[in-house]
Amino acid sequence: MSAVPIKRVDGVRVAHPVGDIDAANASQVERELVESLDPDGDCLVLDLHETRYLDSAALDMVFRLNERLRQRRGGLQVVIPDSSPLGRLAAIVGLPKVIPVHASVRDALARCSQDREARRDSEPPPLIGGIGEPDDSRHHCGR
């Protein structure tokens, strides 16, 4: 049984933890999120609309996860609905300065595909058509 339900929308992983993430379960959540990443997965949406509390341990985890995705030249997209008190918490720790925060999953997915387009434009074509860059295949072996 996993702590975080993860589904795939338009080829992007969308995780929506329900309830609380704190010092007791943050490392388990992190492990599951990292394991869910595809070898070519550059984007992960963390949908917090059903998440009630995140404590500092959970926020540390979110920042670490973002770092990990940035190393793959991707990024984390966080969804916090306008009505959620998590927005104030995110502001206190400066999360929106580092990680894009969206009001809805749809916005987050749009940003993912924008980033993808931008990356495709700015990078040389892959050496082997369709499989991805050498970097990505290294991740594949690591999984």
Partner 1 sequence: MKQVGSAPVQGSEATGSRPAGDADELQDLADMELVYRSLEDALSGLLEWVRSELAVDTAAVLLLDEDRGVLVARAARGLEEEVREGVQVPLARGFAGRVAAQARPIVLDDLKTADVVNPILRQKGIRSMVGVPVHVEGRVIGVMHVGSLVKRAFAEEDIARLQLAADRAAVMIDAARLAEQRSVTEVMQRTLLPDEFPRVPGLRLSAKYLAAGSGIKVGGDWYDVFELPNGRMALVIGDVVGRGVTAAAVMAEARTALRAYLIEGHGLREAISLLNDLLISLGRNRAATVAILELDLELGEIDAVSAGHLPAVLVDGSGSATLWHLPQGPPLGIAYGHRYEGERRRFGADDALLLFTDGLVEVRGEVIDEGLERLRGAAEAAATGEYGSLADRVCWALAGKTAFEDDMALLAVESMPLGPVVEITLEAEPGVLVGLRRTLGRWLADVGAGENDLFDIALATSEAAANAIEHAYGARRATFEVRCERRGEEVRVTVRDEGRWRASRSNGRGRGLAIMQGLMDSVELDHDEHGTTVTLVRHLDAGSA
Which residue ranges make up the site for partner 1 (CB under 8 A)? 1, 3, 19-20, 22-25, 53, 55-57, 59-60, 85, 88-89, 92-93
Radius of gyration of the chain (CA): 15
How many other C-beta atoms are found inside a 10 Å radius of the C-beta of residue 136?
Answer: 17
Query: In this structure, what are the phi and psi dihedrals at residue 120, rounded to the nearest 5 degrees?
Result: -60, -40
Residue whose CB is less far from partner 1, 1 or 127: 1
Residue 9 or 93 with smaller CB distance to partner 1 = 93
- Name which of 4 and 46 has its Cβ closer to partner 1: 4
The tokens describing 53, both together, are 């509390």
CB of 21 to partner 1, least distance (A): 10
For residue 15, the SS3 value is strand
Computed from CA positions of residues 79, 35, 11, 43, in that sequence, does the dihedral angle turn out positive or negative?
positive
CB of 98 to partner 1, least distance (A): 13
Quote the least distance from Cβ 89 to partner 1, whole Å: 7
